[in-house]
Structure 1
Amino acid sequence: MFGKWKKKKAASPIEIKAPLTGKAVPLSEVPDEAFAAGHMGQGIAIEPAEGRLVAPFDGTVAHVIKSKHAVMLEDAQTGLQYLFHIGINTVGLKGEGYTSHVNTGDQVKAGQVLIEFDMEAIRNAGYPLITPIIVTNADELASKVEGQTGHVAAGQDVVLNVELKA
């Protein structure tokens, strides 16, 4: 009975570390309107400096896109889901240049390699490598999503701060 008067503690922002090493930029710089305008969700993008995508937190692989150019992870503690989409229009490569090290349903640890990709092959095929990092269910669960720009190291530097709704 007394529980309804309890004040909720303000949750501190959830810090999401970079899944790639490279240069973090605003989503508006992604050369794809669906990502740039935020239609896919809120987030940030990274111009990768190396061809390895790592898990930024412990979680569950919610989905691996068939052509291996993208993966979705869910954070079990918050329910937030993140899409990591390597390159733009890279579905056209049909998996060429990508090696997935995880499957849907796998439990992953922070720093674990999710996907390796051949940057040169992707560039030579004419595709931008910029990689959107999207909080796909932010509208439902988050009150605020803020991106950090500049050079980032995979697994070390924070690229997103997410505040959950009360």
Structure 2
Amino acid sequence: MFNWLKRKNSKVVTLVSPIAGNMIPCKDTGQPGKGIAIQPLEGRVHSPAAGRITHISPEDNAISILTDQGLEITIRLNTEEAAMESEEFVIMVKEGDHITAGTPLMEFSFQLTDAKTENLYSSVSVANMDQVESMEVPPAQTIGLDDWVMRVKMKSGNRE
């Protein structure tokens, strides 16, 4: 009877590609969580949404963001190695920073890293799946920076 209230209060968060490259299903990477992965064609990772930096883990090459709509995401640069050399990997933001979609988050030496590993990818995963009603991901393809890579419908009643 009150389904229109749920529709009116539901939020859809659109995440854009943090890096140009070849999109692959996250499940094909062996990483936990729901999301996407991209084999990069460049050496800079950008924010897929507006929000606040909540955690940075240089050891894991990972940055967590709480979007303005309440979606918690983690952007990670995955390699076969445990961590990259510091001269190869630079984080460009700090915890607490408010960012917009497209803000540069991290950069890495694509040439140095490419020589070390064939299995390099950047992943975007959702941390608070309990607050997600549904998620839409386009088919695996080559994508450019800022192409949409995930549409997440938040459950009603989540924060504005």
**2:112 match: secondary structure:** helix
2:19 — aligned with what? 20
Task: Tell me the alpha carbon deviations over residues 94-141 of structure 1, each in whole angstroms, 9 at most, x when there is no partner.
Answer: 534111110111111221111011122122223621122101112x11
Q: 1:8 aligns with which of 6, 9, 12?
A: 6
Secondary structure of the corresponding residue to residue 93 of structure 1: coil
Q: Secondary structure at the match of 1:28?
A: helix
Aligned counterpart, 1:29: 28
**Pair 1:6–1:144, CA change in 2 (3 A):** closer
Decide which moves more: 10-19 or 98-107: 10-19
Unaligned runs of 5+ in 2: none
Task: Pick closer, same or farther for the CA change 1:26–1:6 going to 2, 3 Å.
Answer: closer
Look up the equivalent residue of 1:21 and give its one-letter code.
A
Q: Are residue 165 (structure 1) and residue 155 (structure 2) matched?
A: yes
Write out per-residue CA displacement over residues 122-161 of structure 1, whole angstroms, 9 at most, x where no aligned residue. 22223621122101112x1101122223121112x10001
Instruction: Give the TM-score taking structure 1 as reference length.
Output: 0.81
* Structure ranking higher in strand proportion: 2
Q: 2:45 aligns with which of 38, 41, 53?
A: 53
- Residues 6 and 152 of structure 1: is their aligned pair in 2 closer, same or farther, counting only changes over 3 Å? closer
Two-structure CA RMSD over aligned residues (Å): 2.2
Give the TM-score normalised by the residue count of structure 2: 0.84
Structure 2 counterpart of 1:63: 55
Q: Which residue of 2 aligns with 1:145?
A: 135
Helix, strand or coil: the match of 1:13? strand
Query: How many Å separate the matches in 1 of 2:11 and 2:60?
Result: 34
Secondary structure of 1:8's partner? helix
SS in 1 for 2:52: strand
Q: How many residues align?
A: 153
Q: Which moved more, 1:49-58 or 1:81-90?
A: 81-90
